[in-house]
Amino acid sequence: HNNTEPNLYNLNRMIDLTVADKKRKAEDEEFVSSKSNKTEDESDDEDGEMHIYDTCDEIRRKIRRLLAEGTKITPWLREIGGINSNSYQRFMKLKGPLSGCENGLYKAAYVYFERKRIAEGKKKTKKRLECEAAFPNGYSTVAERGVWCTNGYTPTVDSIGRVSIVPNEYL
């Protein structure tokens, strides 16, 4: 075998990889363009960030319902933005309306469920409207790391994530 002749196996493999790369790139471009096509209900702020109006607990509830309907988690995570299954596991183990807001799954799943709601022509829920009123700019995707309060008071968080400082005698 002469070293100057191309190895037929390697050449065929390079061609197959090039075709696969082109296909993957086309799928990625299609995915990105589908993400940028916003509906009229998807409000953005001045930075182009989408406002999120569901709590983390609400997103977890919607994911559980989706799985109960027979959706397979791995393809769904790939579809909504290539979310890692470890991120999914961490997010789903948390409890609380604001717990997990920094996880990439939170925003990706919100976008998925919001688009699904709009496509199905469903109205906003009472809880959703309450969240919009309480948080006009939507929920933050940055975790809050504590609240300062004086002795004799305790911070509490309600079901939609509003933080209140209450005297200990009311707990």
Q: Six-digit token pair at 154?
A: 């305790």
pLDDT tens readout for residues 21-51:
555 555 555 544 444 444 444 454 445 667 9
Mean pLDDT to the nearest integer, 70-75: 96
What is the C-alpha separation between 7 and 98, in angstroms, rounded?
Answer: 57
Q: Which residues contact 45 (CB under 8 A, 6 or more apart)?
A: 51, 137
- Would the pLDDT of 115 be above 50? yes
Mean pLDDT to the nearest integer, 66-86: 95
- Would the pLDDT of 152 be above 50? yes
pLDDT tens readout for residues 91-110:
999 999 999 999 999 999 99
Q: Which residue has the higher pLDDT, 72 or 146?
A: 72
Using alpha carbons, select from 103, 76, 77, 82 the residue that is nearest to residue 91: 103
Residue 56 near residue 98 (C-beta atoms within 8 A): yes
